[in-house]
A and B are shown apart, each in its own frame.
Chain A
């Protein structure tokens, strides 16, 4: 268990249409803001508030999706006003919550070759060897700030400044699922085959997203991630049942 901010969290509420509300707690990507978002998310999970159907934690905000017809309270007020009233009460006590200890997930990656066609190019751009890129990438401790954009896609923070690499000028039309890339200050793993403009440095044999699992997304907001280099033989063995 980790301690949480004890001061009440100040938040701004704004309607996201008539079925959702955005709760904004900051305007930057940093761990303090991230922990506030997680604390609110955990607090909402712990209480069953009538009408809330879904929530989407992000870098500095959390969207609460709700069914207006199921929100309790004084019918003289709109469902939006009533829900904001309830959320305000929850936020006043969020300092009392405890966050679950973060999970750390290790992601094996076969770097370079056909699985990471841009590894050498990234190394060249930073005047280092491909081995250096792998060493720096696997040394990092990454934090999942949020999941979104596509099923199971984790936005990771913590990329070493030495590996910050601009996106490719012409995106690829189909990047295979499991491909590990660097795009600007971000690094991450494509959960599904999709178009992509990141520099592709390797591939994991793990399924980042699998609709047949109880937890389809391997990574959740708040998780820590480490990458570990594996050989092509290990990668192939992993994929062979």
Chain B
């Protein structure tokens, strides 16, 4: 059943942006990758509504938006728990939900984590900028007019896949009100968000430049997420680290999850909108599998680091990829062609 769905933004929340898996291949022009802070939540949300896992969704941060779906739609909420309600009733995260025309989704304050993803069947359709629909707030391009959403904006999803249509049809058979699916992905795939996580770190190029005490502190200390933290990076406070001797480094490429040490001694974790290059010492990089845990931290939350090898980090990542592929396969099996 084809129809044009429109999403009307009633309130934009604190910072709700269109994000996908980022702008790949443009970093040599200085263009950051951007994309979802919590890529796993974005991917699972898309899988639940039958999208390609890199389809564009909405990322809501700290204070969520209110959105009216003017036509029936298939949606899923993943990531942090922002106390979302549909027409006043609390709805479960990590499940596909069929919503009837006129439904208003309201997200509130963070209960667990701080970033919630709203996936819509068909994905959010905004113009591609260098192969991506992700919003780059600092240079004001990509996403919806290069900015966070605000009251009165209207978004239009793309054409839902056949699978998305089958998932929606199966849910609509069971009633006219908003219906959450009884199935989801395995709970082992859902990140165990915490406001005090242990985050695995791969030692970086300049880890050996730390003095002995700082090296111990990096592995044992508790760092606090400071108020000046955003999609570009998190400033950590509470533990001050120092090098054995000062170094002058040449600027070079950095990554999502790089932990830099500026001269003040308080590390910065580079996040989704990070600059392509940096000149501060690099103590390490957060293992990809734990980036979602960091992405969900808000100012005042804490984290500790634990060192792992790159080989172990890649094994964990590949195991998660296999589990995601199985989950995708399971959703396909549940909604075979020729059924509604």
Name A residues whose Cβ lies closer than 8 Å to a Cβ of B.
14-20, 22, 27-29, 41, 53-63, 65, 68-69, 78-81, 146-153, 155, 191-192, 209, 211, 215-217, 220-221
Contacts and interface: CB of A to CB of B under 8 A. Distances in A.
B314 A78 contact: yes
B1 interface: no
Interface in B101-155: 129-130, 138-139, 141
Given A148-B277, A151-B31, A20 B310 contact: no
Contacts of A22: 205, 252-253
Interface string B261-297: 0000000000000011100001001111000000000
20 contacts: A15-B202, A15-B310, A17-B202, A17-B255, A17-B286, A17-B288, A27-B250, A54-B24, A54-B33, A56-B252, A58-B252, A60-B252, A78-B310, A148-B251, A148-B277, A152-B30, A192-B139, A209-B139, A216-B26, A220-B28
Given A22-B252, A79-B318, 16 more contacts: A16-B204, A16-B205, A16-B258, A20-B255, A29-B250, A54-B24, A54-B27, A55-B28, A57-B28, A59-B250, A81-B311, A146-B251, A147-B30, A148-B275, A149-B277, A215-B29
Given A18-B287, A69-B321, A148-B30, A58 B251 contact: yes
Contacts of A152: 29-30
Interface in B306-322: 310-311, 313-315, 317-318, 321
Contacts of A54: 24-28, 33
B287 A17 contact: yes
B254 interface: yes
Contact of B28 (A79, A153, A192, A221): A221
A148 B276 contact: yes
Nearest to A155: B251
Given A18-B313, A80-B310, A148-B275, A61 B28 contact: no
Contacts of B313: 17-18
A61 B252 contact: yes
Interface residues of B, number: 43
A11 B315 CA distance: 26
Nearest to A21: B310
A77 B318 CA distance: 13
Contact of A147 (B29, B129, B130, B139): B29
B35 interface: no
A54 to B, nearest CB: 5
B318 A69 contact: yes
